[in-house]
A and B are shown apart, each in its own frame.
Chain A
Amino acid sequence: MKIAVTGLNNVDNPGPGVPVIRGIKEEGRFDAEIIGLIYDALEPGAYMKEVSDRNYLIPYPSSGLDNLFERLAYIHQVEKIDVLIPTLDAELYGFAKLSSKLESIGIKTFLPTKEQLDLRAKDKLFKFCTDNDIKVPENILAASIQDLYSISSKFSYPVVVKGIFYDAYIANNLDDAVSAFHKINLKWGLPIIIQEFIQGDEFNVAALGDGTGKTVGAVGMRKLFITDKGKGWAGISIDDPVLISLSEKIIEKLNWKSGAELEFIKEKERNEYYLVEINPRFPAWVYLAVASGQNLPAALVDLALGNNVEKFSSYEVGKIFIRYSWDLITDINKFEQITVNGVLNNG
């Protein structure tokens, strides 16, 4: 079987591709060859022969979905891909739109619909939560600097300034908010989300929904070490039935179909969970779920193939992941292969 995966950018803010592949490879049933789909010639996962067998450069969805489909169709002609797993937020709308075309040429996916993606989008999350009685920080959608002047009438500082796809800054005053607005606007465009800052600890859940409202699996995690980009560099699996049942409620309300990462803040005073984000793909720490007993990436492959998947009933608590960096040495001819031909063979 051949499984194509994106998000091999295992950098300081890593994509989930490598841990997704690691989970799939550990599930021996698939005997999978992995086809890495990369946007940049230096995505580290492409050079890791224990991770990917062959890698292909693909165009960004923003360059046009026809271009992307054409390239995928070519790769499929060569490789005969069975399942394709996109793992990056910014590409998911594109792949969701292409899913039926991909299916028509024989590539299976297991993706949320555009409507599902819209419901959990950062600018729509507040409405989804209030409609479904889920606690959520209040927010303002800022389309211009003028909108930032209303912050102090609605919230007290600090506030969280967020991009529509990525990036978040804590702003302690209007100057900070303006500076964060400019930085994010330059990179990710508008609107910018100004979110109420909830004092408390962050808890995350890696989950998989089967598209009918059922949660196939969900593993809770608390970050033990956070980088300056706010990314978890170490974390531990935790046991909180409230967190898991809240996650299952969210998956059910969305009829979520795919992997997801739910981000919560547990408010200090009342010990209540506030949903701050739903990322529409597995997190980069998803291998912790695999190591804790829920191989969510492998279950997603089964769902994509139309296989029956049983709900995971438990997982091991107290498992820790610690990320590390490692200098992979390769030869210039590998870099040449991917740069000139758009293909890198690790065989």
Chain B
Amino acid sequence: MSNYKVAENLAISETGFMFLPGTGETFTSNEIGKTIIRMIQNGDSNEKIIEAITKGYNVEPNSFEKDLSDFIHQLIQYNLAEEL
């Protein structure tokens, strides 16, 4: 179960381009960001996200945990996600 919820109607393309139809705002994210957002959309937990990213992208779980927290904080700041 995810600890966060991605904004309703957020459209994210294969290139990581995001569009919030309600406000017209657009954002871009890199491949890892896109994967994280998609996993949150799927309802995956933080633990599962950390596991998938550290395995898939060769990053340290400890440092990534903080990066993930920062990234999610940014998503919340831009109204792209909210805490459940």
A interface with B by C-beta (< 8 Å): 201, 203, 221-222, 224, 235-240, 266, 317-318
Contacts and interface: CB of A to CB of B under 8 A. Distances in A.
A239 B19 contact: no
Interface residues of B, number: 9
Contacts of A201: 23
B18 to A, nearest CB: 12
Interface in B13-68: 19, 21-26
Nearest to B25: A222
Nearest to A220: B24
Contact of B22 (A224, A235, A240): A240
A203 B24 CA distance: 9
Contacts of B9: 239
26 contacts: A201-B23, A203-B23, A221-B24, A222-B23, A222-B24, A222-B25, A224-B24, A235-B24, A236-B24, A236-B26, A237-B24, A238-B21, A238-B22, A238-B23, A238-B24, A239-B9, A239-B21, A239-B22, A240-B21, A240-B22, A240-B23, A266-B23, A317-B21, A318-B11, A318-B19, A318-B21
A236 B24 CA distance: 6
Contacts of B11: 318
Contacts of A239: 9, 21-22
Contacts of A221: 24
A236 B26 CA distance: 10
A54 B25 CA distance: 41
Nearest to A243: B22
Given A203-B23, A236-B24, 14 more contacts: A222-B23, A222-B24, A236-B26, A237-B24, A238-B21, A238-B22, A239-B9, A239-B21, A239-B22, A240-B21, A240-B23, A318-B11, A318-B19, A318-B21
A201 B23 CA distance: 9
B2 to A, nearest CB: 23
A222 B23 CA distance: 7
A201 B19 CA distance: 16
Contacts of A266: 23
A321 to B, nearest CB: 12
A273 B9 CA distance: 20
Nearest to B24: A222
A1 B9 CA distance: 44
Contacts of B23: 201, 203, 222, 238, 240, 266
A224 B26 CA distance: 10
A203 B20 CA distance: 14
A319 to B, nearest CB: 10
A282 to B, nearest CB: 20
Closest 6 CB pairs of A and B: A222-B24, A239-B21, A238-B24, A236-B24, A240-B22, A317-B21
Contacts of B25: 222
A237 B9 CA distance: 14
Contacts of B21: 238-240, 317-318
Contacts of A236: 24, 26
A236 B11 CA distance: 15
A160 to B, nearest CB: 22
A305 B22 CA distance: 35
